[in-house]
Chain A
Amino acid sequence: MTTLDTTEASGMIMTKTAEDTGTLAKTATAARAGEHETKISASAVSVFYGEKQALFDVTIDIPARQVMAFIGPSGCGKSTFLRCINRMNDTIDICSVKGKIEIDGANIYDPKIDPVLLRARVGMVFQKPNPFPKSIYDNIAYGPRIHGVAKAGSAMDEIVETSLQRAGLWNEVKDRLHEPGTGLSGGQQQRLCIARAIAVNPDVILMDEPCSALDPIATAKVEELIDELRTRYTIVIVTHSMQQAARVSQKAAFFHLGNLIEVDETDRMFTNPTDQRTQDYITGRFG
């Protein structure tokens, strides 16, 4: 059984297999809707580290199955906002978040939302590749195991293989799944981390400067991967590289001193920004 995926970038024909029924069903809904519905909707989000306010009333809609890039000078709150989306900030004692963030219409800061479940739906990839010091297989299998998605055995093997394939790492590691993940190269480690995030079947993947520790070739591979992943996942990426934002993202958001200045199609923002500060940043006058 096949279905037509009308995602603008790929427009390719995909074979429906058993394990990605869920994702494809969503894709099909989106295709019927004709355009990208809003996946994440933040309204008036302010973040405080103790007394210090790091984000000021950020309101933004992030569309499904596109890549949204957060750009801006360092220290402007990009990471802070990104970490609000999977409540990673909960782990910082002094951090408090005000406002509302909805994913598929549900407020993730609602007390009845369990951050553990949220983080399974909203995966995260960090600046520095951080595989567990375990085997490649166990790195991937860890998430599904703790969420009870699959027990050890062939079901788990299948998840591991699918995740690694989607992260474009399968061919490089299929013969050494039981070697430590920390033995891979930096770029491979980062793709392993992406595979690990994919393994728990998320809708959203957050990436905080995922290429900043990688060399140009590894960066190109990860960028290529991001482009492939957006057919299935909503991706939010923080990047300090304009070129990278231009290459991988469809929409971009510019942050400055804790304020969200401008959100637009990436192409339009880079050629024709509305705000002077955006203009200055893009043309390299500061940052």
Chain B
Amino acid sequence: MSDTTAQSGKPKERAWYEPDAKLSRRHAADRRLRIYGIAAIVFALSMLATLVGTIAITAAPAVTQTMVTLEVEVPEGAVDPSDPRGGSYQKILNESVARIFPEVDTPRELRELRQIFSNGGQYALRDKVVADPSLIGRTFEITFPLSDIGDQLHKGEIDRNLPPDYRRVSDQQIGWYDRLVAQDRISAPFNWGLIFNADSRFPELAGLWGALVGSFYALLICFLVSFPVGISAAVYLEEFAPKNRLTDLIEVNINNLAAVPSIVFGLLGLAVFLNFFGMPRSAPIVGGLVLSLMTLPTIIIATRAALKAVPPSIREAAIGVGASKMQTVGHHVLPLAMPGILTGTIIGLAQALGETAPLLLIGMNAFITAAPDSMFNPSTALPTQIYIWADSPERGFTSRTSAAIIVLLGFLVCMNAIAIYMRKRFERRW
């Protein structure tokens, strides 16, 4: 290059392919922007990983539940075969415990001994006898949960080296527990109770079933109300409504509705559904109605977007062969928009599933120990159950709260995955 410059005698001239300083600056800016972007994503992902990681680690102990297996003898006289529910099962259990620990006899020691076993043992025994009354008069094995402290001992969450005053179990209780282990009576199977039990005061008995059923009913109501209403509103606004001031106003308000804080919908539900219409407190039907108010704008907006995405040529084709407006929409536009509508609906329902504030206001955070029989019975929902458990002092609820969060997150991830799958699967290119 310098040769050429020397030969021609002209001042140094760049060839077209040689970058100048401005170009290098442009590239440097590109690179910087890319690095910022990557850094932002790494930050976001690490926060997410930390969040999910902490929850998962906290939840891990709740995956299993420590159980104890005892031989029980149900004497002929103790339970009336014609009414097996009425037996005094706690006494029967106490007797089989006493056979293992014959030396324990003072009332104080007996009380401490029973603290290791769950209060649910008697109900497990009762249910077993009710299911099979021929067990009366026989000796058989029964497996039921240890109490919270037994569970903690088994999972090593109680430090045996601490002085007894600083831990929740006495030396004696540890000794009894160790004897049960030595006799091979302790097992820790998967914690099905966490899913299939209703709520309870005792962590080892508490489960999500009531909340799952409550959330299911609430979402069902939410879907049944917001889906048809949302679609009708969107179809009317998009396909039939004249474009004027009024419809503009409606449109703006629907978009604003989507941004209203959910607690406001809760207050509305409290005032309208409970106080005015006198609907039952804490019931999934009210929860579902309140949630549908929140889901409605999401569905309307998604439906309108899906309808807009149907190309006008399809409408022209239908109108061109003499379809009425209604037929055009019903036979062609709506079916083509349906995947988009369903995707929006699922996302709306997923939001509703995780919504807590409005449910608290209508009392779906009550302590209810049975799953609701219908949508009119008091019940909790998944997020409110998490709220209740997070507020409970017993140690066992700490891990259960996190486990419940994981169940909720699992449902949300599944619903969003279905939405994404549908979007990909039915995406049309025109």
Q: Which residues of A contact B (CB under 8 A)?
A: 86, 88, 91, 93, 116-120, 123-124, 126, 128, 130-133, 142-143, 146-147, 193, 196-197, 199-200
Contact = CB atoms under 8 A, between A and B. Distances in A.
Given A120-B321, A200-B322, A142 B242 contact: no
Contact of A124 (B311, B320, B323, B336): B320
B160 interface: no
Contacts of B314: 130, 132-133
B316 A142 contact: no
Contacts of A126: 313, 316-317, 320
15 contacts: A88-B320, A91-B319, A118-B322, A119-B319, A119-B322, A120-B321, A124-B316, A126-B316, A130-B314, A130-B316, A142-B318, A142-B321, A146-B322, A196-B321, A197-B321
B275 interface: no
Interface in B280-338: 311, 313-324, 327, 331-332, 336
A196 B319 CA distance: 12
B428 interface: yes
Nearest to B319: A91
B316 A120 contact: no
A146 B336 contact: no
B309 to A, nearest CB: 13
Given A93-B242, A93-B243, A142-B331, A130 B321 contact: no
B317 A123 contact: no
B322 A143 contact: yes
A118 B320 CA distance: 10
Contacts of A200: 321-322
Contacts of B319: 88, 91, 119
B321 A123 contact: yes
Contact of B428 (A93, A133, A147, A197): A133
Contacts of B320: 86, 88, 119, 123-124, 126, 197
Interface of B: 242-243, 311, 313-324, 327, 331-332, 336, 428
A126 B321 CA distance: 12
Contacts of B243: 93
6 pairs of A and B residues whose beta carbons are closest in the complex: A130-B313, A143-B321, A120-B322, A124-B320, A119-B322, A130-B317
Main secondary structure of the interface of B (DSSP, over half): helix
Which of A88, A120, A132, A200 gathers most chain B CB within 10 Å? A132
B321 to A, nearest CB: 4
Given A123-B320, A143-B322, 20 more contacts: A86-B320, A88-B319, A91-B315, A93-B242, A93-B243, A116-B322, A119-B319, A124-B316, A126-B320, A130-B316, A132-B317, A133-B314, A142-B318, A146-B323, A146-B331, A147-B322, A193-B317, A197-B321, A199-B321, A200-B321
A79 to B, nearest CB: 12
A264 to B, nearest CB: 29
A119 B336 CA distance: 23
B332 A116 contact: no
B387 to A, nearest CB: 47
A87 to B, nearest CB: 9
Nearest to A193: B317
A43 to B, nearest CB: 25
A132 B313 CA distance: 9
Nearest to B313: A130
Which of B311, B319, B322 gathers most chain A CB within 10 Å? B322
A119 B313 contact: no
B336 A128 contact: no
Nearest to A129: B313
Given A116-B323, A146-B327, A131 B242 contact: no
A91 B240 CA distance: 10
Contacts of B336: 133
A131 B314 CA distance: 8
A233 to B, nearest CB: 15
A131 B321 contact: no
A33 B264 CA distance: 77
Nearest to A118: B322
Nearest to A87: B319
Contacts of A131: 317
A217 B331 CA distance: 34
Contacts of B428: 133
B332 A132 contact: yes
B246 to A, nearest CB: 15
